[in-house]
Amino acid sequence: MSVTRAFLDTNILIYIYSVDEPDKRKQTITQINSYYRIVSTQILSEFCSVSIHKLKMDTFCVEAALNKICHKNNLVVVNLDTVKYGLYLQNKYHFKYYDSLIIASTLESNCQFLLSEDMNNGQVIEKSLTICNIFIPRNIV
């Protein structure tokens, strides 16, 4: 039995820790549990920044959240090859660079889905990756 691999964008993690949108928090937690989940060091860095500045979490709470995220998800490291792949994808698909870097990490991790509220729902990248907004009803597993 094959497990569906999904890469989590920063906004997906933020909803888990946000108290401002309880419905999206609950839906996020429910939706992501059916996947083998992956995050990158880039996603963790973005999570820290947003958690501190927008969610007003103190650094001790952010560190505890990071530990929990890394315990429940698989972590991949953004390296030079990933950065170069991000540049290639940015040129090919015209995404913002940091979104292209997320897509590069997702593809390198052999994920079928990139769960993100910010990118083009349903768009297929490199014939193997589908961007999926978990807040829009869909027909994918």
pLDDT tens digits along 72-98: 999 999 999 999 999 999 999 999 999
pLDDT of residue 102: 98
Ordered structural domains, the chain, with CATH: 5-132 (3.40.50.1010)
Nearest to 131 by CA among 139, 119, 140: 119
Mean pLDDT of the region 112-136: 94
Amino acid at 102: I
Mean pLDDT of the region 93-113: 97
* Total-model pTM: 0.92
pLDDT of residue 3: 81
Distance CA 114, CA 6 (A): 6
- Element housing 100 (H / E): helix 97-108
Contact 41, 78 (CB under 8 A): yes
Distance CA 56, CA 51 (A): 6
- What is the residue-averaged pLDDT of the chain? 94
pLDDT of 1 above 70 = no
pLDDT of residue 2: 59
